[in-house]
Amino acid sequence: MNKTGTHAFVNQLLVYTLVTICLSGSVGLASVWMQQQIATASNNIKQLETRAADLERRRGEINAEIASEQSPAKLEQRNKAWSLGLVQPTEQQIERVYESPELRLARKQADGRFGGESLSFFPVRYASGGAR
């Protein structure tokens, strides 16, 4: 192949042009493929966002329903409708523990370590119906 002269220059130009076209085409295809991937990923994200928003909406609705079902008026209504007979405790039914529960638990724990000696010295003091 002649490396000098007009024909050689033209040949080289054609080769380079072809290479450039191939390269440009490859870059173009890669770019399109990348754009397609971006679009696919974006759409997936969008769908997930839509799904998350939908779940959030449903969570809000369920929370509102739970709150409504837990309202004192509803609970009392259910108590009557289902004849559960739940009532507030009367004063006479209340047994008050005047001792600190934390201290009591601490002593109980200590009791395990000291062979059951300490607990019997600290019985719980109950006051029926308060101290009246």
Partner 1 sequence: MSKGFASNYRIVLLAACVLAMFGGVATRLVYLHVIDRAKLVRHIEQARRQIVVENAIRGDIIDRRGNVLATSRTMIELAVDPQVLRPQDEAKWPELARLIGMSLDDLTKIFNTKVSLANPDDPESRDRVIQWAKLREEIPESLYDQINALGIKGVYGTRAYSRTYPQNRLAAHIVGYVNKEGTPATGIEHYADFYLRGQNGWRESEKDGRQREMAQFRSRDVPATNGYTVMLSIDSVVQSWVEDELDSIVQQFKPDNAVIIVSDAATGFLMAMGNYPTFNLNEFNKAPMQAQKNFAVSSQIDPGSTFKIVAASGALNEGLVTPQTRFDCMQAVVEHMGKPRKLMPDDHVYDHPLTVSEIISHSSNRGAAMLAMKLGDQRFYEYARAFGFAEKTGFPLMGEITGVLNEPKKWSGSDITRIPAGYSISATPLQIHYAMGVIASGGLLFRPQLINEVRTPSGEVVHRFGSNIVRRVITEKTAEQMALMLRGVMTEGTGMAVEMPGYQVAGKTGTAQKLIDGRYSERNHVGSFTAFFPASAPRVVITVIVDNGHPPKGVAYGGVVAAPSFKNLAGKLIPYLDIKPVDSSLVRPLLAAKGARP
What would the x/- binding string for partner 1 be over residues 99 to 128, using CB under 8 A?
----------------------------x-
Site map for partner 1, 60-99, x if CB under 8 A?
xx-xxx-xx-xxxx--------------xx-x--x-x---
Binding residue (CB under 8 A) for partner 1 from 2, 83, 92, 120: 2
Residue 70's SS3 state is coil
Question: CA–CA distance from 72 to each of 13, 60, 75 (Å)?
Answer: 88, 20, 5
Q: Which of 31, 42, 79, 100 binds partner 1 (CB under 8 A)?
A: 42
Residue selected from 23, 39, 52, 105 as contacting partner 1 according to rule CB under 8 A = 39
The answer to whether 118 and 91 have CB atoms below 8 angstroms apart is no
First to last CA, the chain: 122
Dist. CA 28–CA 128, nearest whole Å? 89
